Amino acid sequence: MKGIVEERAVELGEYIIEHKTTVRGAAKKFGVSKSTVHKDVAQRLKYIDPQLYRKVKVILDYNKAQRHIRGGIATRLKYKKA
């Protein structure tokens, strides 16, 4: 039988795929830390459900590639409001 941690890892993975969200967005939705989400989907999920892990990894890699752009936009908006 799966434990709570394994179930959470699968739920997080499915949520990230379904909503194409970031680790931060998933953490907020599930009420856990970003570190917990990252450990669940980047380490635990690899052994629990390798196929789901590969799908999540595609989204996480895309988010990682885009984060410098999102950060630049956020900074620009911050100083535009000031």
pTM over 0.85: no
CA-atom Rg of the chain in angstroms: 14
Give 28-46 pLDDT, tens digit per residue: 999 999 999 999 999 999 9
d(Cα 51, Cα 47) in Å, to the nearest integer?
Answer: 10
Looking at every residue in the chain, the average pLDDT score rounds to 91
The percentage of residues in the chain with a pLDDT greater than 90, rounded to a whole number, is: 73
